[in-house]
Structure 1
Amino acid sequence: MTAATDQLAAPRTQVNRPRPTSKNRYALGRTLKYAGLIFFLVIVLIPVYVLLVTSFKGAGDADPSRAWALPQIWTVENWTTAWTALSPSILRSVAVVVPSAIIAAFLGSLNGFVLARWSFRGADIVFTLILFGMFIPYQAVMIPLTQLVLGLGVPTGVPTLILLHVVYGIPITTLIFRNYYMTVPHELIEAGRVDGAGMLRTYWSIVLPISVPSFVVVLIWQFTSAWNDFLFAVFFSSSQNGPVTVALNNLANGALLQNYGVSMAGALFASLPTLLVYIVLGKYFIGGLMSGSVKG
Structure 2
Amino acid sequence: MMTMTQSTSTPSLKKPRTIISKERIAIYLFLIICSLFFLLPLYIVLITSLKTMPEIRMGNIMSWPETWNTDAWVKAWSTACTGLQCEGVSVGFWNSIKILIPSLFVSILSGAICGYVLSYWRFKGAELFFGIILFGAFIPYQALIYPMIKIFATFGLYGTLPGIILVHTIFGLPIMTLIFRNYYSTLPSEIFKAARVDGAGFFGVFFHVLLPMSTPILIVAVILQVTGIWNDFLLGLIFGGRENMPMTVQLNNIVNTARGAKEYNVNMAATFLTAMVPLLVYFFSGRWFVRGIAAGAVKG
Q: Per-residue deviation at 1:278?
A: 0.9
* Seq. identity, %: 37
Correspondence for 1:128 among 121, 128, 131: 131
* Unmatched 5+ stretches in structure 1: 1-22
Q: Per-residue deviation at 1:140?
A: 1.2
What is the match of residue 174 of structure 2?
A: 171
Aligned residues of 1:57 and 1:75 also touching (Cα < 8 A): yes
- Cα distance between partner residues in 1 of 2:291 and 2:58: 42
What is the match of residue 63 of structure 1?
A: 57
What is the match of residue 268 of structure 1?
A: 272
What is the match of residue 37 of structure 1?
A: 31
Greater mean alpha carbon deviation, residues 118-127 or residues 232-241: 232-241
Paired residue total: 273
- Cα distance between partner residues in 2 of 1:218 and 1:179: 13
- Normalized against structure 1, the TM-score is what? 0.86
Correspondence for 1:144 among 143, 147, 159: 147
What is the match of residue 237 of structure 2?
A: 234
Q: Per-residue deviation at 1:215?
A: 1.3
Q: Per-residue deviation at 1:213?
A: 1.7
For the residue of structure 1 that corresponds to 2:52, the secondary structure is: coil
- Cα distance between partner residues in 1 of 2:209 and 2:200: 10
Q: Per-residue deviation at 1:82?
A: 0.6
Correspondence for 2:198 among 195, 198, 222: 195
Greater mean alpha carbon deviation, residues 216-225 or residues 195-204: 195-204
State the Cα deviation string for residues 105-143 of structure 1 (Å, max 9, x = none): 111111001101111110000001111221111111111
Q: Per-residue deviation at 1:157?
A: 4.4
What is the match of residue 120 of structure 2?
A: 117
What is the match of residue 100 of structure 2?
A: 97
The one-letter code sitting in structure 2 at the alignment partner of 1:279 is F
For the residue of structure 2 that corresponds to 1:60, the secondary structure is: helix
- Cα distance between partner residues in 2 of 1:245 and 1:252: 11
- Cα distance between partner residues in 2 of 1:203 and 1:236: 33
- Cα distance between partner residues in 2 of 1:249 and 1:156: 19
- Cα distance between partner residues in 1 of 2:167 and 2:223: 17
What is the match of residue 225 of structure 2?
A: 222
- Cα distance between partner residues in 2 of 1:257 and 1:225: 32
Q: Per-residue deviation at 1:277?
A: 0.7
State the Cα deviation string for residues 185-213 of structure 1 (Å, max 9, x = none): 11111112222333222222222221222
Q: Per-residue deviation at 1:42?
A: 1.3
Aligned residues of 1:158 and 1:242 also touching (Cα < 8 A): no
The answer to whether structure 1 residue 48 and structure 2 residue 51 are counterparts is no
CA RMSD of aligned residues (A): 2.2
Aligned residues of 1:56 and 1:76 also touching (Cα < 8 A): yes
For the residue of structure 2 that corresponds to 1:71, the secondary structure is: coil
What is the match of residue 8 of structure 1?
A: none
The one-letter code sitting in structure 2 at the alignment partner of 1:111 is C
Q: Per-residue deviation at 1:97?
A: 0.9
- Cα distance between partner residues in 2 of 1:122 and 1:239: 42
The one-letter code sitting in structure 1 at the alignment partner of 2:174 is P
The one-letter code sitting in structure 1 at the alignment partner of 2:188 is P
Flag the 1:26–1:68 CA change in 2: closer, same or farther, 3 A. closer
State the Cα deviation string for residues 17-74 of structure 1 (Å, max 9, x = none): xxxxxx9984322222211111111111111121011101222332383322333443
Flag the 1:133–1:256 CA change in 2: closer, same or farther, 3 A. farther
Greater mean alpha carbon deviation, residues 61-70 or residues 232-241: 61-70
Say which one has the larger Rg: 1
- Cα distance between partner residues in 1 of 2:261 and 2:99: 28
- Cα distance between partner residues in 2 of 1:147 and 1:64: 51
The one-letter code sitting in structure 1 at the alignment partner of 2:240 is S
What is the match of residue 184 of structure 1?
A: 187
- Cα distance between partner residues in 1 of 2:253 and 2:160: 16
* Unmatched 5+ stretches in structure 2: 1-16, 79-87
For the residue of structure 2 that corresponds to 1:61, the secondary structure is: helix
- Cα distance between partner residues in 2 of 1:64 and 1:43: 24
What is the match of residue 80 of structure 1?
A: 74
